[in-house]
A = this chain, B = another copy of it.
Amino acid sequence: MAEGKSFAATDRTLPTRARERARYDEETVHAILDEGYVCHLGFVRDGAPVVLPTLYGRVGNRLYVHGSTGSRPLRMAGGQSADPGLAVCLTVTHVDGLVLAKSAFHHSMNYRSVVVHGTAHQVTDQEEKKVALDALVDHVLPGRAADSRPANTKELAATAVLRLDLREVSAKIRTGGPNDDPEDLALPHWSGVLPVSPSYGAPIPADDLAPGIPAPDYFSAR
């Protein structure tokens, strides 16, 4: 299984509909995760769902999110390795295109998403915490962790990191044009896809950036 390793489908990751869009292979899951900037982290608070956008990073089959030690999900996950952790659902979505059909009913999106179910635990090992924080910074921009001042003791103490293992995980992908009904094809409406992708503007130097420091060349990685 060195090649084509896949996650096992579970009741939660087997879609009730559009099963042909589901993917479970690591390569697809990792690629979608690595391309995102923010995930949407869901947890249950007082019986009700909460969904917050947050940065994340990946190391192998471990995802990391971070926050202040005082933030709600971090506190809820507990601070000791023996704590039961926090049940979460972490979702990353890319919109790739607006799918315009002849009929309102068949309008759709082309997208790639990953949904991870599991229990998040606070990282208590200091070495793992440093690796996780590097991954978070490198996730924003690959190569950036080595080109910034690492967290000092005070910053490390003020930052809590949650780990979520990739075990119960699935990807969903929709590609291609609209699926119009044959009897609609003679209608006069344009149909097809309007592609969407992120684009990057010119780097804006910080107001307090000293003169003579050029924008780094690893910007081209994004």
A125 within 8 A of B: no
> Taking the nearest CB of chain B, how far is it from the CB of A161, in angstroms?
12
Chain B residues with CB below 8 A from A43, complex form:
49
Say yes or no: A140 contacts B206, CB within 8 Å: no
List the number of copies, as a whole number.
Answer: 2
Say yes or no: A133 contacts B104, CB within 8 Å: yes
Say yes or no: A16 contacts B72, CB within 8 Å: yes
Say yes or no: A37 contacts B109, CB within 8 Å: yes
Complex interface bits, A146-184 against B, C-beta within 8 A gives 1, otherwise 0: 011111100100010000000000000000011010001
Say yes or no: A194 contacts B205, CB within 8 Å: no
Given contacts A193-B203, A208-B185, contact A91 B40 (CB under 8 A): yes
A95 within 8 A of B: yes
A60 within 8 A of B: no
Closest to A90 in B: B51
Closest to A212 in B: B188
Interfacial residues of chain A within 40-76, with CB under 8 A of chain B in the complex: 40-45, 47-53, 55, 68, 70-72
